[in-house]
Amino acid sequence: MEINNEQIEAIVKQVLSNLSGTSGSTATAGNGSIPSKVRVAMLTELGKMEVKEFPMPEVGDDDILVRVEGCGICGTDSHEYKRDPFGLIPVALGHEGTGEIVRLGKNVTKDSAGKPVKVGDKIVTCMIFKDNPDITMFDLNKKNVGGADVYGLLPDDNVHANGWFADYILVRGALGSTFFNVSDLDLDSRILIEPCAVLVHAVERAKSTGILRFNSRVVVQGCGPIGLICVAVLKTMGVQNIITVDGNPGRLEFSKKLGATDTVNFKDYNGIEEMAKGVESKFGGHIADFAFQCTGSPAGHSNIYKFVRNGGGLCELGFFINGGDATINPHFDICSKELTIVGSWVYTLRDYATTFDFLKGAKAIGLPMSELITDKYPLSRVDEAFKKAAAQTGLKIAVVAD
């Protein structure tokens, strides 16, 4: 068989592709070719995302090269975009991402739960335990992401492909990365894994009080993506009596689709005492057994105590960054009520594995989780996507492959 120049060129490109990185790396999937450059969306200054090109990073024996399929914009990304509270600029953002393995280091055979991985599998990343490499999947019941790093919030370096707002991301074994094979989940579900893990963790924290049960009356304050996912997690675990509190009628209505029994629009009430009476009326003359405070607003935290009965419980999970001080009266709000209060911040590695089952369970009972993703933008329009997220006119905004 005669081979023409075009075929020879294709073969040479394939061989070079296989050789880039280390000799132990495997090349891939799709059309079999990996470009020499990677596009990375960098936050270069406050309020400005730019798509830059860098050389495609080499793939070591313990690394994974992933072709990005999509990534959600987190509230933390929006805070970084507007204020840079972590002092990371310039930085490649994006930690709610997922994609397909296109090159696999020869030492990488299993994910962080022990599930086999191969080229073509879909994965998500979790924490980076670069300062604590001995942690395993089964040590993490009491250790959350605090003290660990995540892709998308790393200082820039010579790799650059450190965040999921990119064409490709390099998952580096030397950093102590953790990742999961999620090939059995659709793209929208995979994009939602990270924020859903936040709520799986929060509900597990709430359950530790012994107060949250199937028949509990529960208030969820704040119907952004975090509060709405909270409703869905509670509904999936069997809680039947959930009241949501927010000032956005559309979000309140959507909360019913995710499992809320009824809603309270705080704009319909004059002050917290009247609003607490409104919550009580929705529960048939009772106040809540348990409350989740999801707003990130100090005023929201101050108000939440009024919704909870004596001996009840509260989970505060709205403050992922310093949002300021809240004013409470410890005697009336905590002590005389004997409230049990837990804080929740992000998740553990084990919560990620639990989240996969939550998403499957939510789908099985008909909860429209994909409708949380209201807008999708290509990488080339990433700055526009961030402006949309900052305006808070949608719910979950995602950046997807061009």
Domain boundaries, the chain: 11-184+368-400, 196-343
- Average confidence (pLDDT) over 338-349: 92
The topology under which CATH files domain 196-343 is: Rossmann fold (3.40.50)
Angle at 81 between CA 75 and CA 87, to 5 degrees: 105
Q: Residue 141: is its pLDDT beyond 50?
A: no
Q: Is the pLDDT of residue 13 over 80?
A: no
The alpha carbon torsion through 375, 33, 93, 128 (nearest 10 deg) reads: 120
317-338 pLDDT, tens digit each: 988 888 899 999 999 999 999 9
Contacts of residue 94, Cβ cutoff 8 Å, sequence gap at least 6: 41, 71, 77, 151, 152, 163, 164, 165, 166, 399
Instruction: For the full predicted model, state whether its pTM sits above 0.85.
Output: yes
pLDDT of residue 376: 98
Which pLDDT score, from 0 to 100, does residue 343 have?
A: 95
The chain-wide mean pLDDT, for the chain, equals 90
Q: In this structure, are residues 339 and 361 in contact, taking their beta carbons and an 8 Å threshold? A: no
Whole-angstrom Cα Rg for the chain: 23
CATH class of 11-184+368-400: alpha beta
pLDDT for the residue 143:
53
Per-residue pLDDT band for 17 (boundaries 50, 70, 90) equals very low
pLDDT (average), residues 68-93: 94
Task: Judge if 11-184+368-400 and 196-343 fold alike in CATH terms.
Answer: no
The tokens describing 57, both together, are 């990073």
d(CA 283, CA 242): 9
Identify the residue whose tokens are 């604590």. Answer: 132
pLDDT reported for residue 1: 43
pLDDT of residue 5: 52
Q: How does residue 147 score in pLDDT terms, banded at 50, 70 and 90?
A: low
DSSP lists the bridge partners of residue 48 as 45
Confidence band for 33, pLDDT divided at 50, 70 and 90 = confident
What digits encode the pLDDT tens for the residues 206-249?
999 999 999 999 999 999 999 999 999 999 999 999 999 999 99
pLDDT at 258: 98
Instruction: Tell me the angle at which helices 193-207 and 225-236 cross, rounded to the nearest 10 degrees.
Output: 60
Q: Who's near 193: CB < 8 A, 6+ residues apart? A: 96, 98, 124, 182, 185, 352, 355, 356, 359
**Rounded to an integer, what is the distance from CA 136 to the centroid of its chain?**
21
pLDDT above 50 for 8: no
Give residue for tokens 């390099």: 170
First vs last C-alpha separation in the chain = 38
**Can you tell me the mean pLDDT for 92-113?**
96
